[in-house]
């Protein structure tokens, strides 16, 4: 049981390049989230999904897009990377119903934009 | 809008001393509050949630609605408690978003 898996773990981009972060969970969770973690700012919600085929904006959505074509996968895309997007990105998921709001996190993806 | 404030970015205590990590929140509804912890080189994980009213690894946290606080306490800190601690608040309704505070890095000195 892998839980929440994020790929890649590390990536260096040049300004203007695009990339996609993949989050996969094998727990049949309905809800999935993308957060970014920055020093002194904690975790901020970028986008989230309450089920397959649905996505919604979080606190800091600008510059990112997401897709949830399959229940187990939640993709985070950067169309044109900027240095301000240098961060550690965390994916998380949770059940619907009892136990909801208790998040299971991935190991994180460290992105550097030069 | 909901907000979580952790006023201390860094906190150092000696082993065996009591420790309190502060968390204050603002939320118009009925809050559900959590403490998450991230040990070095490990994933962020749930430490405790207020509705469980449990003690995990010797830590407790009581929801004080009058003071809108959910401070994390431990009477005798251990070196293995050194970690980043995040307080989080859950919104009600179908969105089930968690809003995190900025975190407190706890260092327990030998």
Please give the sequence-ordered ranges of beta strands (E in DSSP) within B39-96, or none if there are none: 45-49, 60-61, 72-74, 83-90
Contact A73, A23 (CB under 8 A): yes
CB nearest to A40's CB, from B45, B90, B102: B102
SS3 call for B68:
coil
Per-residue confidence (pLDDT) for residue B95, from 0 to 100? 58
Distance, CA of A45 to CA of A43 (rounded, Å): 7
pLDDT tens per residue across span B15-38: 999 999 999 999 887 788 999 999
Cα B103 to the center of its chain, rounded Å: 8
| A62 min Cα distance to partner chain B (Å) | 18
- What is the full per-residue pLDDT of chain A (114 aa) written as tens digits? 679 999 999 999 999 999 999 999 999 999 999 999 998 888 999 999 989 999 999 999 999 999 999 999 999 999 999 999 999 999 999 887 555 678 899 999 999 999
**Cα separation of B35 and B53, whole Å?**
12
pLDDT confidence of residue A10: 96
The Cα diameter of chain A in Å comes to 43
Asked if the peptide bond before residue A74 counts as cis, ω within 30 degrees of 0, the response is no
**Residue B96 at interface with chain A, using a CB cutoff of 8 Å:** yes
Which positions 61-90 of B are in contact with A (Cβ < 8 Å)? 86, 90
The C-alpha angle with vertex B50 and arms to B49 and B51, in degrees rounded to 5, equals: 95
């Amino acid at each position: 049981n892998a839980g929440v898996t994020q790929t890649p773990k590390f990536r260096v981009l040049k300004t203007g390049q695009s990339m996609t972060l993949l989050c996969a969970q094998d727990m049949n969770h309905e809800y999935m989230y993308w957060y970014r973690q920055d020093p002194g700012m904690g975790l901020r919600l970028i986008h989230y999904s309450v089920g397959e085929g649905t996505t919604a904006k979080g606190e800091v959505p600008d510059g990112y897009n997401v897709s949830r074509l399959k229940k187990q996968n939640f993709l985070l895309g950067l169309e044109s990377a900027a240095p301000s997007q240098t961060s550690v990105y965390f994916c998380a998921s949770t059940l619907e119903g009892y136990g909801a709001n208790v998040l299971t996190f991935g190991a994180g993806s460290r992105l550097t934009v030069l | 809008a909901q907000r979580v404030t952790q006023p201390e970015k860094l906190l150092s205590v000696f082993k065996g001393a009591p420790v309190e990590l502060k968390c204050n929140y603002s939320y118009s509804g009925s809050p559900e509050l959590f403490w998450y912890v991230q040990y070095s080189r490990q994933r962020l994980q749930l430490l405790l949630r207020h509705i469980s009213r449990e003690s995990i690894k010797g830590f407790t946290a009581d929801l004080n609605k009058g003071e809108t606080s959910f401070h994390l306490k431990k009477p005798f800190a251990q070196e293995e408690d050194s970690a980043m601690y995040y307080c989080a608040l859950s919104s009600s309704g179908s969105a089930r978003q968690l809003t995190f505070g900025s975190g407190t890095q706890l260092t327990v000195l030998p």
